[in-house]
Amino acid sequence: MVLTPKKLPRIDLTRWVLLGFLIIQGIATVAIAGPATGSDGDQDYWQALTHTHYIQEGSKGPIIYDFYDPNCPYCHEIYTWLQNPIHNKQIQVRFITVGFLTPSSAGKAAAILSAKDPLAALKLNENKFSTKGGPEGGIDPAPVAVLNKMSVVLNFNASLLVNKEAEVLGIPGASVPFLVYRQDGRIRYVPGLPDNKQWSEIIHAQ
């Protein structure tokens, strides 16, 4: 059965319109997650993620890494999904900040990472996230001097994202959101929004 646009939920239309816009801009954003993949030889990558300037939320449960852009609506959706399992102490999430989707993304990423309380800054960005007039995180971009100071961190975070996605997905460029977790001793990757099976694996990661 083929659904007409009138039968599609509003959020799905928003996703596809935004996806088309980002592709036109030459930025690949995955709206629907592909299969989770992994290999036994990816422990070095997992170790490298511990050296990123991540922002941790939660203190108990398995670790989930989440690459996100402050202006990414799909990243915002995943952030919202993750709040319940974090608060229920099922998982702990390490948010890895990148900034490339829109002209203000890098400045907002720098503002979050350079804040006295990066987690509070991240929450401010997400709690005030707006889709009116285009997706936009709620935090103000950092001044140019702060952005320049944080560029090394942002570039390092982006390099881990781009290189792994090229290997796992076979696509050039960077795509967010991108989740990394361990299940049964193997590293798993989810580009975009998790499906039901992947979501169950994430909140029961080992």
pLDDT in tens, 158-206: 999 998 988 887 877 788 999 999 988 889 999 999 999 999 999 888 7
Separation of first and last alpha carbons in the chain: 38
- What pTM was estimated for this model as a whole? 0.81
133 φψ region: left (φ > 0), alpha (ψ -120 to 50), beta (else)? left
Quote the crossing angle between the two packed helices 118-127 and 105-114, to the nearest 10°.
140
68-88 pLDDT, tens digit per residue, is: 999 999 999 999 999 999 999
Give 19-64 pLDDT, tens digit per residue.
Answer: 333 333 333 333 333 434 455 558 899 999 999 999 999 999 999 9
pLDDT attached to residue 41: 54
Got the DSSP string for 21-50? HHHHTT----SS----B--TT-HHHHHHHT
The full set of domains in the chain, from first to last, is 5-203 (3.40.30.10)
